[in-house]
Amino acid sequence: MRKQLKEAKRIVIKVGTSTLIYPNGNINLSAIDQLAFTLSDLRNQDKEIILVSSGAIGVGLNKLNMDKRPPTIPEQQAVAAVGQAELMNIYNQRFLTYNQQIAQLLLTRDVIEYPESRKNVTNTIEQLLKMGIIPVINENDTVAIDELDHLTKFGDNDQLSAIVTQLIQADALIMLSDIDGFFSDNPNTNKDATLFSEINEINDELLQLAGGKGSRFGTGGMYSKLKAAERVLAHNGAMILANGQQPKIIFDILNGEMIGTLFI
């Protein structure tokens, strides 16, 4: 099954905040540079690359010298607005080092729900790919909140990356996280936890392992990744969950090496 990843032409890469920001809150410039190098080189191989990137609030906190996320939604949105500009500034600088043009798309859920706006988003991404440009997609944190019956929020960028994968019929979604894949238990607390190399169906048993709301992984992040994988599998796609500490791992994944968990 992994061999077919070598043939993947259109690939969505999702990076979480843990790849972009050190635990101390500073920006991981090494990882960002490695990501820019890797994705630019994949473009040189004629692959079509879409980057779904978290990190706006993390970068904003760093830029504003704030050591923790503020409590109110307007404050968080302000931090995200500052952080998104700074994040794109860093991405632009690093990608241009490798002569790779990027573009920014900020999406909200309602854009995807309405046929006309969904078509516009799809057309924009398709045109950027045709021009050899890497779209950098994030949720529009400054307006994306659940308010009354106007649902604007994706929930998280795991879901957003799965929706983008579906929208543009990508061959694979590579989700880079702070864990090596999907385990039978939390590997941080249980040394006997085993890594699932391949998963073909998302069932209740797996969702229980991920923990749902009271997650055994602490944050509920694994549950969200399984739900994203469920969406990808429902459309006959492939998703790989792997550790994003060294983004050049993407080369090995696309070479068919046994890394992370393959959902297919």
Q: Each residue's pLDDT tens digit in the chain (264 positions)? A: 788 899 999 999 999 898 999 999 999 999 999 999 999 999 999 999 999 999 999 999 999 999 888 988 889 899 999 999 999 999 999 999 999 999 999 998 777 788 898 999 999 999 999 999 999 999 887 666 554 344 555 667 898 999 999 999 999 999 999 889 999 888 878 888 899 999 999 998 888 887 754 333 333 378 889 999 999 999 999 999 999 999 999 999 999 999 999 999
Which CATH number does the domain housing residue 105 bear? 3.40.1160.10
How many Cβ atoms from other residues are within 10 Å of residue 69's Cβ?
12
Using alpha carbons, select from 143, 2, 161 the residue that is nearest to residue 74.
143
Total domains present in the chain? 1
What is the rounded CA–CA span in Å between residue 262 and residue 84? 30
According to DSSP, the residues that pair with 17 across neighbouring strands are none
Structure confidence at residue 250 (pLDDT): 98
- What is the spatial distance between Cα 146 and Cα 182, in angstroms, rounded to a whole number? 29
The pLDDT assigned to 147 comes to: 41
Q: Is 40 annotated as a binding residue?
A: no
pLDDT recorded at residue 108: 82
Secondary structure of residue 42 in the 3-state scheme: helix
Q: In this predicted structure, what is the pLDDT of residue 218?
A: 30
The secondary structure of 69-131 as a DSSP string is: --SSHHHHHHHHHHHHHHHHHHHHHHHHHTT--EEEEEE-HHHHHSHHHHHHHHHHHHHHHHT
Q: What is the pLDDT of residue 10?
A: 97
Q: Which residue range is the domain that position 129 belongs to?
A: 2-263
- How far is 145 from 140, CA to CA, in rounded Å? 9
The reply, when asked if residue 141 is annotated as ligand binding, is yes
- Largest Cα separation within the chain, whole Å, is 50
Residue 222 annotated in ligand binding: yes
Asked whether residue 220 is marked as a ligand-binding residue, the answer is yes
Predicted model pTM: 0.91
178 annotated ligand binder = yes
Residue 219 marked in a binding site: yes
Q: Is 236 annotated as a binding residue?
A: no
Annotated ligand binding at 181? The verdict is no
What does each C-alpha distance from 72 to 69, 76, 78, 214 come to in angstroms? 9, 6, 10, 24
Does 142 count as an annotated binding residue?
no
Write down the pLDDT at residue 127: 98
